[in-house]
Amino acid sequence: MKLRQAPNNIFVKLLLGFWLCSSLIIALIGLLPLLQQNHDQAELPPALERMLARSAERIASNPQVLGSEKLKHWSRFKEFKGRPARIYLVDEYGKILNSHKQSRSLRRFMLMADEAGHPIKHQFRDELLFGPYNFNVEGKPYSLYGRLPEHHPRPWFFFFIDNKILTLSIAILLSGLLCGLFAWHLGKPLRSLKRSADALADGDLSSRVDMGTVKRNDEIGQLAQAFNGMADSVEDMVNSQQRLISDISHELRTPLTRLKLSLALSRKKGQQTPEMERIEYEADQLELMIAELLELSRVKLNANETKRNLELAETLSQVLDDADFEAQQQQKQLHIDIDESIVLPLYPRPLSRAVENLLRNAIRYADTQVSIRALAQSNSILIEIIDDGPGIIDEADLDAIFKPFYRPQSARERESGGWGLGLAIAKAAIQAHQGKIKAENCQPHGLKISISLPFSS
């Protein structure tokens, strides 16, 4: 499968994402003082400038007021559009001549006006200051500043300037939100890849990464394409292997049938010898093994099966009847506890064969009794098959017993014959249901096989 060529831009996405996120937060915080300055500070309007000019003319026309006590009250209050305006006279040394109180906001405004280099106005929280208007009296420079006690509504974003801790907290929260969204954007396709990989590892060979991830134009999209290509190849190889086993098994049946026919003809001719009986026994064993191989191949390929919603008890009824009969023949007890209301999507034949193999195995090794029960859980059905036999001596064999042709070197081993295919068939059938199977020893002795079958199809 040829991969679509795409630029390697995960690094670019990471770089741009976090860089733009941090830059946006820094820019927003940094712009607040500039916005405030542009809003609060502006050129001196002509009307206010004329008011200061008239006050300067009155002082220039009556210079003796500068040296008298009347200066403390002269021109301190004026009317401007029906509002009281206060005028401040400042000498060349920056001293306010007509007021004893040194207004902090006025001092601050004087510094701002000095930095601006021209007359301005500035809106503080509850007052408007404006000026300076420069003029000379008897060769000495003076300046006039004005104040209007008024409050103008400020834009909503100035709230953040006055509440710096809250602004910092919101900036951190916003940064975390943006980074979280970016991380989610990158993490979502990776989670899809993980789910598909887990499903493939659990035996679901049809699992593929969704097309939304595959169509991404970055390395994750390329990885998704490569994963799907790998999954296609794995599925083809596994299916080819199972078909090969099935084909070989079918082909082996032809010479085996001829061999058994020859043995039958020999018996008719009176050629019955111990060697002939041994050959017939081995031929029967070989036929059984071929049948097991075909069953394993059929279950793994899931051939000619359709999943249907069925009652578990009804599906296993014949298997349970046969197992009960077999247990009675061996003077053992089989306890069955399966609720007839349990319904779930099933492949009837593979599941029946799996439970049959597990029950026969449990009955064979049990001392006196075997039990099978089914429990409904939140998202699955748990089936447990428990016997009171010797169990598995080596704990490492508990996972390996489900491998084809594997038989543990323990108490449950070779005296029973077999080729180690029964449990492999059971595991293949459970995996076809997207379920799980595991074995564990019981105390003080015995073996428990647990099967988990999902409700969803």
Dist. CA 192–CA 234, nearest whole Å: 19
CA distances from 187 to 6, 12, 175 (A): 19, 16, 18
Dist. CA 329–CA 326, nearest whole Å: 5
Dist. CA 275–CA 267, nearest whole Å: 12
Residues comprising the chain, all counted = 457
Q: What string of DSSP letters covers 225-266?
A: HHHHHHHHHHHHHHHHHHHHHHHHHHHHHHHHHHHHHHHHHH
Q: For Cα atoms 209, 213, 216, give the angle at the middle one, nearest 5 degrees.
A: 145
In the set 73, 151, 250, 445, the catalytic residue is 250
Residue pair 312/348 in contact (Cβ under 8 Å)? The answer is no
Q: What string of DSSP letters covers 295-348?
A: HHHHHHHTTT---EEEEHHHHTHHHHHHHHHHHHHTT-EEEEE--TT-EEEE-H
**Identity of the residue numbered 200:** L
DSSP 8-state assignment for residue 8: -
In 10 A of CB 309, how many CB atoms? 10
In this structure, what are the phi and psi dihedrals at residue 347, rounded to the nearest 5 degrees? -100, 105
Dist. CA 58–CA 42, nearest whole Å: 27
- Residue for token digits 């990471």? 14
**Identity of the residue numbered 320:** L
Strand partners, 42: 121
**Identity of the residue numbered 140:** K
- Is 250 labeled as catalytic in the residue annotation? yes
Residue pair 358/371 in contact (Cβ under 8 Å)? The answer is no
Structure tokens at 88: 């401040």
- Residue for token digits 């690094």? 11
Structure tokens at 63: 């210079």
Q: Which string of b and e fits 236-275 if b means at least 16 CB within 10 Å?
A: eeeeeebeebbeebeebeeeeeebbeebeeeeeeeeeeee
Structure tokens at 71: 């200066």
Q: Which residues are catalytic?
A: 250
